[in-house]
């Protein structure tokens, strides 16, 4: 089976591309076109993986390019998106164009070519602060940032194509994913990089919100398990550990592992607007456990160790001395 992965040059997308190749799928990787011919994190994958990957350079916002990319494929994993919440506060237009219009382009092309499976990537941010916990797939949606609002819109477009045109759509909703290759804008790499750089004052925003963290390999196995199940079409499915930890306790654990002399300092620049902060995310994983063979394989402690080890050897790929939004 030939599959297209949009956003393959990014964090989760590169891991998914790698795992799909290992499982024997024929993979076409949609990467964001740039004049440097930079393929993002795919450039770091070993040759024995990349020789089995077909690269397509394009822009998810361009429907002609998306159609060209989807010719001849059987299924699509749509991960291409803008995801940074702080950046969405001052550049919401780009989030509408990328997250909503980009998803529409994928849905339209999938319908045109009769794609057999369409996996649309959502986010736990669509739920906003938990009204009850653990959060199952019936939880109300709350657009607490422009980013989350555009992902809600993209999800509902995907649902409409399933209901209106019988397009075989599945909405995959990972809770907070972390691990090697993650952007510096995310909280775990932010903490680790400051500690590895020898800083004794670790700058963070709010410490009280809780998150349900998935190690990236568990997230990727979730995607593939959902794809390989014949019971998941037309469903929206959480990928979650059903465990939570506060940002403050997470930071203290990383400080303990790397530099016990460091202290946390609140940086107002990193605080979300009060009504935009998502205070609690704890996912329910009953549905994915029921419909697929997926189970989380990595503990938070093991995942953090792997992430620390990766960043130790890749600090040159990150800008440590700025606040990455």
Q: What is the mean pLDDT of each run of 10 residues along the chain (325 residues)?
A: 98 98 98 95 97 98 98 98 94 98 98 98 98 98 97 98 98 98 92 91 90 98 98 98 96 93 86 88 98 97 96 86 71
**Per the omega criterion (within 30 degrees of 0), is the bond before 223 cis?**
no
> What's the rounded Cα separation, in Å, for the pair 216 and 19?
11
CB 204 within 8 A of CB 255: no
Residues 194 and 227: their CA atoms lie apart, in Å, by: 37
Closest by CA position to 308, among listed 266, 245, 256, 270: 256
Query: Is the N-terminal amide bond of 134 cis, ω within 30° of 0?
Result: yes
DSSP-derived letter for residue 44 is G
In 3-state terms, what secondary structure has residue 184? Answer: coil
- Identify the pLDDT of residue 274: 83
* Token pair for 40: 């993002």
CATH class of the domain comprising 2-178+214-239: alpha beta
pLDDT at 268 (0 to 100) = 79
Phi-psi region of 132 (alpha: psi -120 to 50; beta: other; left: phi over 0): beta
């Amino acid at each position: 089976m030939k599959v297209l992965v949009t956003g393959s040059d990014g964090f989760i997308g590169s891991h998914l591309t790698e795992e799909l190749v290992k499982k024997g799928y024929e993979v076409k990787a949609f990467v964001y076109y740039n004049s440097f011919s930079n393929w993002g994190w795919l450039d770091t994958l070993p040759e024995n993986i990349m020789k089995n990957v077909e690269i397509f350079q394009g822009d998810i916002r361009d429907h002609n390019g998306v159609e060209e990319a989807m010719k001849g494929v059987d299924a699509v994993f749509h991960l291409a998106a803008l995801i940074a919440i702080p950046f969405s506060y001052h550049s919401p237009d780009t989030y509408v164009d990328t997250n909503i219009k980009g998803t529409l382009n994928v849905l339209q092309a999938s319908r045109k070519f009769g794609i057999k499976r369409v996996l649309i990537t959502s986010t736990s941010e669509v739920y906003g602060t938990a009204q009850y916990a653990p959060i199952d797939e019936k939880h109300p949606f709350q657009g607490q940032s422009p980013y989350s609002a555009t992902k809600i819109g993209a999800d509902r477009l995907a649902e409409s194509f399933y209901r209106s045109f019988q397009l075989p759509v599945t909405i995959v909703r990972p809770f907070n994913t972390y691990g090697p290759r993650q952007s510096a804008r995310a909280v775990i790499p932010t903490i680790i990089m400051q500690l590895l750089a020898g800083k004794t004052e670790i700058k963070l925003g709010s410490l009280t919100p809780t998150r349900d963290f998935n190690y990236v390999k568990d997230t990727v196995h979730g995607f593939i398990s959902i794809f390989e199940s014949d019971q998941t079409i037309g469903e929206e499915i959480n990928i979650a550990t059903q465990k939570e930890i506060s940002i403050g306790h997470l930071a203290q654990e990383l400080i303990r592992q790397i530099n016990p002399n460091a202290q946390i300092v609140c940086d107002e620049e990193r605080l979300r607007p009060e009504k935009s902060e998502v205070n609690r995310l704890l996912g329910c994983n009953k549905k994915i456990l029921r419909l697929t063979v997926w189970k989380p394989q990595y503990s938070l402690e093991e995942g953090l160790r792997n992430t620390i080890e990766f960043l130790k050897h890749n600090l040159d790929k990150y800008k440590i001395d700025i606040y990455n939004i």
